[in-house]
Amino acid sequence: MRTARAAAILAGLAVAVAACGNAPTTTQPTASSSASAGAGDKTLQGVKLEVAAKWTGQEQKNFESVLKAFSDKTGAQVTYASTGEDTGAYLGPRIQGGNPPDVAILPQPGLVQQYSKQNALKPLTDAVVQEIDTNYTPYWKELGSADGKPYGVLIKAAHKSLIWYREQAFQDAGVQPPTNWDELVKASQTIADSGTPPFSFCGASGWTLTDLFENVYLSTAGPENYDKLAKHEIPWTDASVTTALEKIAQIVGKKEFVLDGNSGALQTDFPTCVTKVYGQKKAAMVIEADFVATQAVQDGAKVGEDAKYIPFPKAGDTAPVVLGGDVAVAMKDSPGAMALLQFLASKEGGEIWAKLPGYLSPNKNVSPDNYPDPLTKALGQTIISAGDAVRYDMSDLAPSAFGGTDGKGEWKVLQDFLRDPADIKGAQTKLEDEAKKAWK
Amino acid sequence: MTERLNGPQDPPATIAGGSVPGPADTPRKQRRLGPSPTVAIVFLLPAAVLLGIWVVYPIVYSIFRSLFDATGSGFVGLGNYLTIFTDGSMLTTIRNNLIWVVVAPIVVTTLGLIFAVLTERIKWATAFKLIVFMPMAVSLMAAGVIFRLVYDEDPDKGVANAILTTVHDTFSSSQGYPEARPREGDQSQVAAQSGAVVTKQPVQAGQPVLVPIVGIKPEIMPGSAAPAKAAPPGNDLSGTVWFDFTAGGGGKNGAIDGSEKGLPGMTVEAVKDGQVAGTATTAEDGTFRFDGLPAGAYVVRLPQSNFQAAYHGLTWLGPTLITPAIIGAFVWVWAGFAMVLIAAGLAAIPRDALEAARIDGATEWQVFRRITVPLLSPVLLVVFVTMIINTLKVFDLVFIIAPPSVQPQSNVIALEMWRVSFGGGNNQGLGSALAIFLLILVLPFMIMNIRRFRRDES
């Protein structure tokens, strides 16, 4: 009797604790599906794992179906917890409190460095490293390493050098997909004249603005300068930054170019800005990565017919290819955590995920044929075949106080810049101030 | 969340008891009747240990930690405190906290007083009180989510702007072609000028004026619009206002192409020497003609009223209005709490004092000002001080309501403390310094409140 009551109280506490976080959901191996996967050796029967990642909505569902495949194979019970946009703020207290999730998906390689310094990460076992060596190019392996030690598996890549557009809006205005920056500005003017604001910006989500800046900067200043700025070896007050901001001001500085005006754009987060293009059909273009497709499909657009993309147009001499990615790391020493990382790094895990929309695999052995549509197939091809010209998302390489925190650093300054695009000098000074604080 | 109600300042029981004279059998000083000191210590120990672990140790450790840098190994002395008072964004948070402390407690206490006095008089007092008190049953986090929606800029979603636009549109509805603009350029005859569209040069009768307009959203294009035509030649001043955009592209800019439509209902003025000499309205094909205008050169103007942008309400969640907007949400939550406390105090006011004053011929206002408020002042002070403490530690409402793009402008100390400690920078030295700073701010009010309770009890 008494134990039953104690158990009930504990269960109640557990619910309360769960309610404090972003309601985790549990993927349980169901009897029927585990029977169908009977061939798998259920070595992890009864093991419980917690995975924390920032995905919500459709992206979360897709990831959960990958987790389910893992559960079916191994018998482990995997719980998903959403960290929200600010992964550092979610994981920080949990690391401090000695209660981190077994596996965390970090949205920035910068966090791998940061957490490895705090000894919060567990080095990958040889089995996982081997899996990475067979499936990944050294470039990707390096992104998940700190001080030469591999800690993370890059499980999801994002192609950030894209501009998505609504075919109907382009047709109504009679414009062709632009191939360089000047054409983009001209096409935007024509679309604005036709009565449709050309751009829907996701100003409330600061990272979308850094992505825009990185593409323009990589294009106008070239890869060498890009690397230097990423390490803060040249100051943000550099003339190359001025050029890039001037280019951006060409599209954010005209009020007829920006849906809902600049202050409205600052209250639009991602993915609402996508819905405004494909769901509400209010604007013509949204500048973001391949994962826009997930939301576009939800909004009822057909990728490839209504929703199309163009490679980010050249604003200078370089055709920009900026990539992002999510790194899975183990934060607890448990066999389940390593098994899950190995599964996520494997061809098998990657192919299950690749069949779902909005996913690009950095795994070279995941055949692009798995992708659900030809557009994603083409993107997957470019990521795998991309040579030395690609650059990793600059803000994700920066200390997270500068490149990855709501209301701070680069996010905040670029938001202020979107509010007042005339003040290029002021934005540069503030960027440099923030960078100095973060890199000291 | 419950801790907000049960904190050390928790007054309800005390207040109710405070105004009523306490039981006579609680003498202030007792002779040693109770148990020996050893027994007393044994009984005190559990509470003392718990307080030590949960209150004293964290405070001491925070002070210690605030003297070190982000990693916790480098001693920086008072450097973190210096940062608080020199860093621009920190100063913004301090300024915001000041606004909160000055505005929110006064508004909450005043509203609570008004509600409490009014509910004394009405029939359905309990029902009314219940409704005003209900927001207290909602967690601050949920209240934040609610108000994030209330303040949404889109009037179709946000109630605040829905009300504003409805009221506004009742008095002046937007009409014409909001946000449309002239096609400008060297070939164009017209240019935008402070909201209106004017011809660059004065025009003569007999040479039709072309006014190309672009940027008209499909949904505001009138159904009656007919393909645009050039104005027929004649002796009067005439011209065409049309949507200079061929659907699907291909039209020639500044020229009336086959499928382009006229803009009916546009007001056109002929201006001479700053005076409006004549007014015309465009027809369905966009043509207009001034009849009976004396010969001469006129500037043709499409006044601003044609392009009045639809009223979209206020940008509640923008950088200027964000703090007042969040304070509004705070008032919504706490006004009921203040009302209940003040109503309890009101019930304890001796009726005979009020009656006597009324019999002496005092007006209701005089009774309220000279008798009710002075007698209530202890309760009002408790509510006020409680609210000051609550505003100093406000966190959740700001965190939830302010969109990320205006978080820096709406930031408060408690939120900044959490952000620098755990978000991004992980600088727990600076975070601890902020925590101590906040503690120092709250302390005087805590002491004030405790003193009050003691005095009331004695």
Asked if omega into A271 is within 30° of 0 (cis), the reply is: yes
In angstroms, rounded to a whole number, what is the distance separating the alpha carbons of residues A35 and A48? 20
Closest in A85, A92, A206 to B426, CB measured: A92
Does residue B333 lie within any of the structural domains? Answer: yes
> Do residue B75 and residue B128 come from a single domain?
yes
Closest in A92, A171, A195 to B218, CB measured: A195
What phi and psi values does residue B276 have, to the nearest 5 degrees? -75, 115
Distance from CA of B153 to the nearest CA of A (A): 7
Q: Give the CATH number of the domain where residue B14 resides.
A: 1.10.3720.10
Question: What residue ranges define each of the domains in chain A, with the CATH number in brackets?
Answer: 25-158+324-385 (3.40.190.10), 162-320+398-439 (3.40.190.10)
Does residue B72 lie within any of the structural domains? Answer: yes
Of the candidates B307, B341, B357, which is a domain's last residue? B307
Left, alpha or beta for A433 (phi > 0: left; psi -120 to 50: alpha)?
alpha
Is pLDDT at A92 greater than 60 in this prediction? yes
Residues of B in contact with A406 (CB under 8 A): 404, 407, 423
pTM of this structure? 0.75
> Do residue B301 and residue B320 come from a single domain?
no
Contact B423 A175 (CB under 8 A): no
Task: Assess B250–A contact: CB distance below 8 Å, yes or no.
Answer: yes
Q: Exposed, middle or buried by CB within 10 Å (0-12, 13-18, 19+), for A165?
A: buried
Does residue B122 lie within any of the structural domains? Answer: yes
Nearest Cα residue to B151 out of B286, B19, B318, B366: B318
Nearest Cα residue to B192 out of B274, B275, B306: B306
Is pLDDT at B324 greater than 70 in this prediction? yes
Does residue B18 lie within any of the structural domains? Answer: yes
Is pLDDT at B144 greater than 90 in this prediction? yes
Is pLDDT at A210 greater than 90 in this prediction? yes
The predicted structure's pLDDT at residue B413: 93
Contact A405 B423 (CB under 8 A): yes
pLDDT digits (tens, 9 = 90+) for A37-83: 334 567 788 888 999 998 888 888 999 999 999 999 998 999 999 88
State the alpha helices, DSSP H only, in A346-399: 347-354, 374-385, 394-397
Cβ contacts below 8 Å, chain A against chain B, sum to 113
Strands (E), B89-208: 181-182, 190-193, 196-199, 203-204
Based on the structure, what is the number of domains in chain B?
Answer: 2
Is pLDDT at A363 greater than 70 in this prediction? yes
Domain that holds residue B260: 181-307
Does residue B390 lie within any of the structural domains? Answer: yes
Residues of A in contact with B221 (CB under 8 A): 195
- Most distant CA pair in chain B: distance in Å? 116
The ipTM, to two decimals, is 0.71
Closest in A114, A174, A399 to B249, CB measured: A174
Residues of A in contact with B403 (CB under 8 A): 204, 266-267, 269
Contact of A159 with A323, CB cutoff 8 Å: yes
Closest in A85, A256, A415 to B405, CB measured: A415
Task: Assess B86–A contact: CB distance below 8 Å, yes or no.
Answer: no
Of the candidates B284, B307, B330, which is a domain's last residue? B307
The predicted structure's pLDDT at residue A356: 87
> Do residue B361 and residue B452 come from a single domain?
yes
Classify B413 as helix, strand or coil: helix
Contact A89 B214 (CB under 8 A): no
In angstroms, rounded to a whole number, what is the distance separating the alpha carbons of residues A13 and A21? 13
The predicted structure's pLDDT at residue B197: 86
Residues of A in contact with B248 (CB under 8 A): 171-174
The predicted structure's pLDDT at residue B319: 86
Residues of A in contact with B404 (CB under 8 A): 85, 204-206, 269, 406-407, 411, 415
The predicted structure's pLDDT at residue A8: 45
Determine the average pLDDT of the residues in A293-319: 87
The predicted structure's pLDDT at residue A221: 92
Is pLDDT at B422 greater than 90 in this prediction? no
Residues of B in contact with A92 (CB under 8 A): 421-423, 426
Does residue B164 lie within any of the structural domains? Answer: no
Structure tokens at A423: 């003040």
Of the candidates B253, B285, B307, which is a domain's last residue? B307
In chain A, the percentage of residues whose pLDDT exceeds 90 is 37
Pick the residue of A94, A267, A437 with the most B CBs within 10 A to test the interface with B by mutation: A267
Distance from CA of A118 to the nearest CA of B (A): 9
Distance from CA of B179 to the nearest CA of A (A): 8
Does residue B162 lie within any of the structural domains? Answer: no
In angstroms, rounded to a whole number, what is the distance separating the alpha carbons of residues B249 and B247? 5
Q: For A108, which residue in chain B has the nearest alpha carbon? A: B424
Pick the residue of A189, A194, A417, A432 with the most B CBs within 10 A to test the interface with B by mutation: A194
In angstroms, rounded to a whole number, what is the distance separating the alpha carbons of residues B327 and B322? 9
Does residue B161 lie within any of the structural domains? Answer: no
> Do residue B195 and residue B72 come from a single domain?
no
Residues of A in contact with B407 (CB under 8 A): 406-407, 412
Neighbours of B174 (CB within 10 A): 17
Left, alpha or beta for A75 (phi > 0: left; psi -120 to 50: alpha)?
left
Contact B405 A401 (CB under 8 A): no
Residues of B in contact with A408 (CB under 8 A): 408, 419, 423-425
Task: Assess B215–A contact: CB distance below 8 Å, yes or no.
Answer: yes
> Do residue B193 and residue B143 come from a single domain?
no
Distance from CA of B262 to the nearest CA of A (A): 14
Q: For B89, which residue in chain A has the nearest alpha carbon? A: A408
